[in-house]
Structure 1
């Protein structure tokens, strides 16, 4: 792209710092709430021996420093993995979410109402009314394997291999190679997807999928160039071009913790494999319509960025970028 670029790396970096990244005070409050929950939960689980608590670990986007702030600015989600050892080998593991929800309710006693606890398919969500913070407590069945390997348990009793430690190591390795821009690029792309979903609620693109697309492009580059983590507009264009040109039909896998032949082909329209678990396609459940919707949206966004690059005025360029990030862009 040629011509004067009114929205450059500096502008996007400033926007990330003012509107996307989690502010220091919010991060401090999140840690305080999570630590409170962890300390109290340890005591309550110890008194109920159906499941023994092995450890509690911060996990998810918060632990990986890829979380983005809430649009209201009142808080940020946090994930805690509760590693549990089954005390009774006959216990039905499908009950673990209900069991964990009861333990969480006991932690807070009468200070919270029933509506503050919302179980999902694999976690117990707890909303803090004062801060707006939502903590997801994820039960992980621990079997003594190294590197915090364990099994997420869904509400239906399905077990999925995971490892908080290896997921953190996976992203830290690439951030160590690429620098701080690696994680901030992920946060900007997550902000784009969040804004996109506000316009089109049917659009599907989970946070973890964004992280793995960026990891893949960091590993292999795109169109003969490395991922431009120090030039956010160029890097965003690379990610979008990858989605459009491949149609997300090319399987993505990583060989950090298993060999490529450990992955078996599936009929899933999008195949992006969990770097820790070769049996877990993180896009499982996405339909062909979901794939097309995401690819078409990336194509429209890429066309918008092309218009921004050739905009005659700064105002026109900013208007184009606002289609990605909403009316608060550039956040100055």
Structure 2
């Protein structure tokens, strides 16, 4: 049965249903409903909620909980996510599965409380030091926030890797009908690697420190193989009216919802346009986008940033068609009419209207 829920609260409930029993976080708008919900529901679910003294402390608590094999999550927003970057690098190197929710707000700096997608570089290129990648999932509805959050825990356990659920402030605060169907997850191996007590077996060491260069290189090469596997296997995308499209938008999250309306408006004018929506920001769904290259005369990225994802689009298109950009920043979102006007100007060479 469907119920009306705010996006942030739906993520928290989905995490609990996915077996998350430990949550560490520090409240920051517009993600605060996540720790608030966890503080109310974790105890009755047999879990523990702890408000850390900072985001730096929270991500290191996640490290400890994940190292003993528990399903653990934290939630934050852009400035807090920045503070967690060193911890994310350590989590990757120690191969500790966990889920992080980033409800993006405007920046740079303290910025404002309005929605943004300007964490894209930090999310997809590795905000911490070293060669690593997080799997990044970008839902575009409250229902998808539920479904992808549940799946995120399985993906994290499957690869022993961190998974980030990336939403903008609008999706986090939005209320929509949502259902919580039973989740049929992946078949997962026991966590025999976890530091959960060594009675009857050799000790497990969960570390990210390799003193000799030769060992450091061999570990990086091994992680590189895992990164390649994730990149090949976890590309996700959705398409809207792409089968006969001659032009295509690329957008995720709230931008994709706005752009879908713009596509409908342009279709009413007889223009064959479609929408390619990345659901995984990393790995970017280059296989899906590449498959559309022969038919598309022009691409346009629609973003709540100065233009970050557009760089990945350009890399894949590789000069085979023009790539445009429609953007809003600082917490502002475009109206569908703005997207339509930007398309006509950049793709068709027309003025407004």
Q: TM-score, normalised by structure 2?
A: 0.25
> Normalized per residue, which structure has more helix?
1
- Higher strand proportion: 2
Q: Normalised by the size of structure 1, how large is the TM-score?
A: 0.26
